[in-house]
Amino acid sequence: MITRRAFVSAAAATCLPVTAAGKLSLGIGTYSYHSLTMNDMIVQLKRLKIDRIEMSRGEFMLFSKPAPDLFRSAKAMFDNAGMECASWYTATIKDDSDLDDAVRGASLLGARNITGDATGDLLRRIDERFAKEGLTFGIHNHYFKEKFAYESPGDVLRALAGRSPAMGATLDIGHIASCGYDTVDAVRKLGPYLKMVHLKDVQASGGEVNVLLGTGIARIPEVMRELKRIGYRGLVAIEYEHEGAVDDDMRIEVEYARRLL
């Protein structure tokens, strides 16, 4: 089964709802269930009492050329299950055609935030378009074996310089740790710009082996404390990039994260 990193490699504002003061909002990134059908995924989400998600399955990413009916079907399924698609992970937005598709897909899903990446003048065009559409865009940091544009908090901050509030960061805690940066420091630096947080733990820097929350190097309890300290009000979406059955592991991850809310 291909991983999300392989998916992305092959493909070469503040609109999120707030929560009560001091309480973080927990959800799940749906790539965690990429090996399940949509129906089976929703069964698992309901068992976990998760009602907010970020759509991040590979078949919905821009390079998969998803058809509008796929988004309509997903929206209907989420509505029937009483779930909100708070954000959509598009992967790389490469050109204006991708930008048009991103806006269209977000509208069909009912998502007000898009997570992804882009470089150069396209960032300006995303900023202008998203501000007009009432959407937000979170630049996503990644670990890759090869150099990537957004590895450190500084990389993201430089891209956001001079941008409107529609532009911000989707901070992937696991990938920050994989790239060798301090996760709590990343929360502090990117805090004013956070649109989304991907909560994952990794075995070691220089790799992307996911482990259960709290068992790796990502300093998950400290990250959650810092998110509360800075008053973060967006979604904290658990992501677990693992092959095979993940039902038991996801239950453990959700139970662990809820204790830290």
pLDDT in tens, 4-41: 544 444 443 334 444 444 689 999 999 999 999 999 99
Judged against a pLDDT cut of 50, whether residue 71 lies above it is answered with yes
Q: What is the pLDDT of residues 73-100, one digit of tens each?
A: 999 999 999 999 999 999 999 999 999 9
Where does the pLDDT of residue 172 fall: very low under 50, low under 70, confident under 90, or very high at 90 and above? very high
Tell me which of 17 and 123 has the higher pLDDT: 123
Give the C-alpha separation, 106 to 88, whole Å. 7
Q: What is the pLDDT of residues 207-249, one digit of tens each?
A: 999 999 999 999 999 999 999 999 999 999 999 999 999 999 9
Q: Which SS3 state, helix, strand or coil, does residue 197 take? A: strand
Q: What is the pLDDT of residues 51-69, one digit of tens each?
A: 999 999 999 999 999 999 9
What one-character DSSP code corresponds to residue 242?
-
Which tokens go with 244? Answer: 């095979």
Over residues 38-54, the mean pLDDT reads: 98
Residue 17: what pLDDT? 41
| 194, 169 Cβ separation under 8 angstroms | yes
Judged against a pLDDT cut of 80, whether residue 3 lies above it is answered with no
Query: What are the structural domains of the chain?
Result: 4-259 (3.20.20.150)
User: Hey, which residues does 199 pair with through a beta bridge?
Assistant: 238
What one-character DSSP code corresponds to residue 157?
H
Residue 6: what pLDDT? 47
C-alpha separations of 40 from 71, 85, 165 in Å = 17, 17, 37
Over residues 128-147, the mean pLDDT reads: 97
